[in-house]
Amino acid sequence: MGNAAKVIQRISQIESEIIFWKIRRKLFNTIAGLVRRILAPVEAFVIRRYATEEAKYPPIFIIGAPRAGSTILYEYMTNYLDIMYINNFMCRFNKILYLASVASKIIFRGGQHNCFDSEHGATNGWNSPSECGGFWYRWFPRDKHFVDSDELDNIQISQIREVVVAIINKHNKPILFKNMNCGQRLRIIKNIFPNALFIYCKRDPLFTAQSIIESRERIHKNRQTWWSIMPREYDKLLKLDYCEQVVKQIYYIQKQIEKDADFFEKKQFIEIWYEDFCKLPKSIIEDIRSFLSQNGVSTGYRAEVAETKIRLSQQRRIDKQTYNRLSKLVESLDWGS
């Protein structure tokens, strides 16, 4: 068989594999949809046993700007600390999240996921941690991310609280959420979970901005199209050029978090810098455990935290002109602490 024929044969095989996986995914989604519809009434009934009690632990939220190291922190915390989290399996059944958490415990037995790779927050593997936006979009709007304290009604607030409290109490463990939009929902989260704890991820804004531009290029194939979290000032930012957009996107996201943090006690927040975490992940995990402990949340280990240093990129990876403009824009703003 000639080289051309081999290439054609291989292309045909790849096309067949793609079709197979598409059919398999579609079949799974269909089955999952049927399961969700059948079990939804069961979910509503069984969570009452645990949701009517006071939560044994406050929920924990990882928040911050996009590309600030939140995903790798989430992966480390869920891999090494014995806490609850939404994995990819549970996310598939996010409309019956409580029952999915029970099934997940049976299937994975609380084992490590050992996943430290992701693509813009998305991980591979059923037990790997998920942002699971679908869970939150059951109640929160999709077309904006800033949500004020009065934008959900009492029924919606009760529904969110019941699901989360039931999971915490059923498994007798704190639950960790990493959905970055929640950083723009602190006012309503205060109404739902007044004792919630927050891990606020920060990174040098110059390199955060550079990474957001790279994400725009990978996802949208251009730098002009918006990507990720929309702060309260989103409509105004759309009128700016892309460099100013990304820098002020980070700026306003952080300013909103820091402003709304005043609704909570200072002890409910801890700041984690990506640069520090990359150098000393084990030490930062211990700092987080200490923070949780001071707030009445004790967390054991699934396994000892790896000493391996995470590669920290602090180099220019985009064209010099854009990089210099980002640098000047960052320097022109008051970032506070």
pTM for the complete prediction? 0.89
Helix axes 154-171, 97-108, angle to 10 degrees: 20
Hey, is 153 helix, strand or coil? coil
Nearest to 209 by CA among 234, 228, 195: 228
End-to-end CA distance of the chain: 66
Residue 53 DSSP one-character state: S
Residue 271: per-residue pLDDT: 98
Distances (CA, A) of 287 to 229, 290, 293, 329: 27, 5, 10, 32
Cβ–Cβ < 8 Å for 176, 77: yes
- The model's pLDDT over 200-246, given as tens digits with 9 standing for 90+, comes to 999 999 999 999 999 999 999 999 999 999 999 999 999 999 999 99
**What's the pLDDT score for residue 17?**
46
Question: What's the CATH code, domain 47-204+267-313?
Answer: 3.40.50.300
Neighbour count for residue 166 (Cβ, 10 Å): 24
Q: At what angle do helices 320-331 and 242-260 cross, to 10 degrees?
A: 30
What per-residue confidence (pLDDT) applies to 45?
Answer: 82
Distance of CA 137 to the CA centre of its chain: 13
Residues of the chain with pLDDT under 50: 7-8, 11, 14, 17-18, 20-21
- Do residues 113 and 127 touch, judged by C-beta distance below 8 A? yes
Helix (H) or strand (E) holding 272: strand 269-273
Per-residue model confidence (pLDDT) at position 118: 72
* pLDDT at residue 131, rounded to an integer: 95
**DSSP bridge partners of 81:** 301
- For position 88, what pLDDT does the model report? 93
In this structure, the number of other CB atoms found within 10 A of the CB of residue 321 comes to 9
Q: Where are the alpha helices (DSSP H) in 117-204?
A: 133-136, 154-171, 186-192
